[in-house]
Chains A and B, each alone.
Chain A
Amino acid sequence: MADMLLDIRNLRIEATVYPPGEPAHDIIIVEDVSLTLEKGKVLGLIGESGAGKSTIGLSAMGYGRGGVRIAGGEVWLNGRDIMKGGMRGFRKLRGKEVTYVAQSAAAAFNPAKKLMEQITEAALAHGMASQKQAEARAVDLFTHLGLPDPNNFGSRYPHQVSGGQLQRAMTVMALVPEPDLIVFDEPTTALDVTTQIDVLAAIKRAIRDTGVAALYITHDLAVVAQVADEIMVLRGGRKVERNTAENIINNPQEEYTRALVSVRSIEHEEKKPTADPVLVARDISAAYGNAIQVLKDVSIEVHPGQTLAVVGESGSGKSTLARVITGLLPPFEGTVTFAGRTFSRALAKRSKEDLRELQMIYQMADTAMNPRQTVETIIGRPLDFYFGLKGRKKRERVMELLEEIEMGAEFLDRYPAELSGGQKQRVCIARALAAKPKLIICDEVTSALDPLVADGILKLLLRLQKAEDVAYLFITHDLATVKAIADSIAVMYQGSLVRYGPKTEVLTPPFDDYTDLLLSSVPEMKIGWLEEVLEHRTMESAGN
Chain B
Amino acid sequence: MRIPVSALIGMILTAGFFAMAAFAPWIAPYGMAEIVGDVWQPRSAEHWLGTDNIGRDLLSRMIYGGRTTIVIATLATILSFTLGAFMGFTAAVIGGWIDQLMSRFVDLMMSIPTLIFALVVLSVMPVSMTVLILVMGLLDSTRVYRLSRAVAVDINVQDFVEAAKLRGEKRTWIIFREILPNALSPLVAELGLRFIFAVLFLSTLSFLGLGVQPPASDWGGMVKENKEGIVFGIGAALVPAAAIAALAISVNLVADWVLNRTSDLKGGRGG
Contacts and interface: CB of A to CB of B under 8 A. Distances in A.
Contacts of B256: none
Given A328-B162, A362-B159, A372 B167 contact: no
B179 to A, nearest CB: 9
Given A20-B269, A385-B168, A418-B268, A371 B182 contact: yes
Contacts of A352: 168
A367 B158 contact: yes
Interface residues of A, number: 31
A370 B167 contact: no
A382 interface: yes
A322 B265 CA distance: 27
A417 interface: yes
A416 B168 CA distance: 22
A373 B163 CA distance: 14
Contacts of B271: 20
B181 interface: yes
A371 B182 CA distance: 8
A416 B162 CA distance: 17
A486 interface: no
A273 B232 CA distance: 99
B233 interface: no
B266 A371 contact: yes
A371 B166 contact: no
Contacts of B267: 371-372, 415-417
Contacts of A416: 267
Contact of A21 (B1, B160, B178): B1
B169 interface: yes
Nearest to A382: B167
Contact of B163 (A358, A368, A371, A417): A368
B104 interface: no
Q: Which of B163, B169, B265, B268 has the most CB atoms of chain A within a 10 A radius of its CB?
A: B163
Contact of A355 (B167, B266, B269): B167
A369 interface: yes
Contact of B169 (A20, A367, A369, A385): A385
Contacts of A328: 162, 165-166
B168 A370 contact: no
A369 B159 CA distance: 7
A20 B268 contact: yes
Nearest to B268: A417
A46 interface: no
B163 A362 contact: yes
Interface string A412-435: 000111100000000000010001
A370 B166 CA distance: 14
A23 to B, nearest CB: 8
Interface in B175-198: 177-178, 181-182
A536 B269 CA distance: 55
Contact of B167 (A381, A415, A418): A381
A360 B166 contact: yes
B255 to A, nearest CB: 19
Given A20-B271, A21-B1, A367 B160 contact: yes
A355 B265 CA distance: 29
A347 interface: yes
Interface in B112-163: 158-160, 162-163
Q: Which of A327, A356, A370, A373 has the most CB atoms of chain B within a 10 A radius of its CB?
A: A370
Interface string A54-88: 00000000000000000000000000000000000
Given A370-B181, A418-B268, A355 B159 contact: no
Contact of B182 (A368, A370, A417, A435): A370
A364 interface: yes
Contact of B160 (A356, A368, A382, A385): A368
A120 interface: no
A11 B177 CA distance: 48
Interface in A99-139: none
Nearest to B160: A370
B269 A21 contact: yes
A493 B196 CA distance: 57
Interface in B240-262: none
Contacts of B269: 20-21, 415, 417-418
A381 B167 CA distance: 10
Contacts of B160: 367-370
Interface string A254-286: 000000000000000000000000000000000
Interface string A320-352: 000000111000000000000000000100101
Given A362-B163, A385-B167, 15 more contacts: A20-B268, A20-B269, A326-B166, A327-B166, A350-B168, A355-B166, A355-B168, A360-B166, A362-B159, A367-B159, A369-B160, A371-B182, A372-B267, A418-B268, A431-B163
* The 6 A-B residue pairs with the shortest CB-CB distance in the complex, in nearest-first order: A371-B267, A372-B181, A417-B268, A368-B159, A355-B168, A367-B159
30 contacts: A327-B166, A328-B162, A328-B166, A347-B165, A347-B166, A350-B168, A355-B166, A355-B167, A358-B166, A359-B166, A360-B163, A360-B166, A362-B159, A364-B159, A367-B160, A368-B159, A370-B177, A371-B268, A372-B182, A372-B267, A382-B167, A385-B167, A385-B168, A385-B169, A415-B268, A415-B269, A417-B268, A418-B268, A418-B269, A431-B163
